[in-house]
Amino acid sequence: MDVRVRYAPSPTGLQHIGGIRTALFNYFFARANGGKFILRVEDTDRERYSDESLEDLYSTLEWLGIKWDEGPVVGGPYGPYIQSERFDLYREYAQRLVDEGKAYYCFCTPERLEEVRKQQAESKSEYQGYDRHCAHLSDSEIKEYLRQGIKPVIRFRVPTEGKTTFHDILMGDITRRNRDISPDPIILKSDGFPTYHLANVVDDHLMKITHIMRAQEWIPSGPLHVLLYQAFGWDVPQYCHLPMVMGKDGQKLSKRHGSTAVRDFRAKGYLPEAIMNYVTLVGWSLDGSTEFFSKEDLEKCFTMEGIHKAPAVFDYKKLDWFNGQYIRQADNSRLADLVAPYLQEAGYVSSPLTDDDRKLIDNLVPAVKERMKVLSDVVPLTAFLFEDKPVEDKSIYIAKGSDENNTAEALEKGTEILLSGLKNGENEEAIEEKLAALSQQLGIKVNGVFQPIRVAITNSTVSLPLFDSIRLLGLEETEKRLVRANKLFKEN
């Protein structure tokens, strides 16, 4: 069997972690099985549709490097792949069900339906939903309504007896009594627009989709979809509903946990390969232990068997860790290109970059690379190079376990050691050893000496490695700042 899978988002919001996880699973499954990955835009809900969402869909997939074999832009043999361009087709298929008695016209006004709802609520009736008022209209009644110009919706006739089962690769058989399925849902609205169920089923069939991998929240639609396939006389594709993506607290991942839009992660400076790697591990594993996968790896080794049944937890810290790892592996020149916009945004370098800016960025990349978790960290890490905001609060210079007197002395003697060492061309280890020896003399920890020096030079407690900072700042400016800090500790 030729595997054909699809990602079928509705462009009603930004692409989020859960959505692209579905896209990645489908994409890798297709690649690993020599199949096709199809992108279909389910834009039947015109009220919630937005251009921005559609653009975000394309740009997010492009950023991640996911190419679709068939779909919008690239086309394919079963197009168009945008549902709003397929409305004639849905009308035809809905009418076909009407002609076969498997669906019917409903002329109920919104007022009548509201009345029914109210009565059901008041009488606490077990029966909820449409009362099948139009299920058995005669031909002449239908003609009369149409003559009056009333536009009907088309409702699908759900059997009132029996059960429907659908098989899910992960969850096994899921069976529902037909009478518990929403009574006679609308498949075509009065304006001729299809609803999700009809468009989704018709398209999966016409596009020859073999496996449906989608979020578990669609499980409740499963039985109705199976009934629709049966009504059309079509084979039912294989289902594999994916485990939910949760926050650490066990609740469905949402804005309460942090950013969920991929665009936001991108803006903060996550690398696409880190997002791809980590997000694929949310609810999937190869062997329970391998953590690093390139796109090429996953295109080969992804299996459906590796998908977990249990809900999966999205751990922001773990993603940060992955991102840091990928930053350290990245090419310096690529990183230089990637950090430049953050430095421009901060106003630290000009845009477009001058040759000097470019050189400076090339110089600082090897140092910041070791410390960044996300690319935007470049700004706080290098702020001391671009704006000099001396720390005036002495307590910030004082390391744990040290005090003001020791810090003053560490700063004074440390400055001497450092400056004379640098001026005499001593190597870094030798200078570090002397500074360590100083801390012993003073009876404080090594950091008792290094922290005040670092704060003096970088105006911050979180910064680049000491000698990188000095190299980037230059000896003259370094000296100036050290002298300034010494003065601060000598005042009163």
Give 134 or 438: the residue with its C-beta nearer to Zn ion: 134
CA neighbor of 422 nearest in space, from 457, 397, 387: 457
**Which of 3, 17, 103, 108 forms a contact with Zn ion (CB under 5 A)?**
108
**For 110, what's the count of Cα atoms within 13 Å in the CB-facing half-sphere?**
2
Q: Which of 3, 4, 5, 8 binds ligand GLU (CB under 6 A)?
A: 8
CA distances from 376 to 335, 363, 404 (A): 11, 17, 34
**Tokens linked to 319:** 């993603």
Binds ligand GLU by CB under 6 A, chosen from 21, 36, 176, 214: 214
Report the residue number, 225 or 369, with the smaller CB distance to ligand GLU.
225
Task: Give yes or no: 208 in active site.
Answer: no
Distance CA 71, CA 40 (A): 6
Q: CA–CA separation, 216 vs 245, rounded Å?
A: 10
DSSP string over 370-432: TT-SSGGGHHHHHHHHH-------GGGTPPTT--HHHHHHHHHHHHHHHHHHHHTT--HHHHH
- Given ligand GLU, Zn ion, none, residue 134, with its beta carbon under 5 to 8 Å by kind, binds Zn ion
Alpha carbon distance 352, 265 (integer Å): 24
Does 134 help bind Zn ion (rule: CB under 5 A)? yes
Residue (108 or 279) nearer to Zn ion, CB:
108
Q: By CB under 6 A, name the one of 10, 325, 447, 486 that touches ligand GLU.
A: 10
Interface with ligand GLU, residue 15, by CB under 6 A: no
CA distances from 81 to 9, 95, 240 (A): 12, 21, 22
By the rule CB under 5 A, 106 interacts with Zn ion: yes
Binding flag, residue 218, ligand GLU (CB under 6 A): yes
Q: How far is the CB of 234 from ligand GLU (least distance, A)?
A: 15
Please provide the DSSP assignment of 463-479 as one string. Answer: -S-HHHHHHHH-HHHHH
202 contacts ligand GLU (rule: CB under 6 A)? no
Smallest gap, in angstroms, from Cβ of residue 96 to ligand GLU? 21
Choose the catalytic residue: 255, 300, 423, 490: 255
Q: Which is nearer to ligand GLU, 240 or 456 (CB)?
A: 240
Q: Is 9 in the site for ligand GLU (CB under 6 A)?
A: yes
Instruction: Tell me if 385 sits within 8 A of 347, measured CB to CB.
Output: no
| Nearest-approach distance from CB 155 to Zn ion, in angstroms | 7
Three-class SS state of 75: strand
Helices (H) and strands (E) in the chain, counts: 19, 11
Contact with ligand GLU (CB under 6 A): which of 5, 15, 42, 108?
Answer: 42
The CA distance from 464 to 372, in Å, is 10
Q: Which stretch in 37-45, 134-142, 156-164, 216-224 sits in contact with Zn ion by CB under 5 A?
A: 134-142
60 lies in the site for ligand GLU, by CB under 6 A: no
Which window, 8-16, 161-169, 303-311, 404-412, contacts ligand GLU (CB under 6 A)?
Answer: 8-16
Closest CA to 229 of 240, 238, 241: 238
CB atoms within 10 A of CB 390: 12
How far is residue 467's CA from residue 422's CA, in Å, rounded to a whole number? 10
Q: Is 202 one of the binding residues for Zn ion (CB under 5 A)?
A: no
Minimum separation from the CB atom of position 418 to ligand GLU (A): 60
Report helix, strand or coil for 239. Answer: strand
Question: Minimum distance from CB of 402 to ligand GLU (Å)?
Answer: 57
Closer residue to ligand GLU (CB): 9 or 324: 9
Minimum Å distance from CB 19 to ligand GLU?
A: 7
Stretch that binds ligand GLU, among 3-11, 300-308, 339-347, 447-455 (CB under 6 A): 3-11
Binding site for Zn ion (CB under 5 A): 106, 108, 133-134
Q: What positions carry a catalytic annotation?
A: 255
Binding site for ligand GLU (CB under 6 A): 8-10, 42, 200, 214, 218
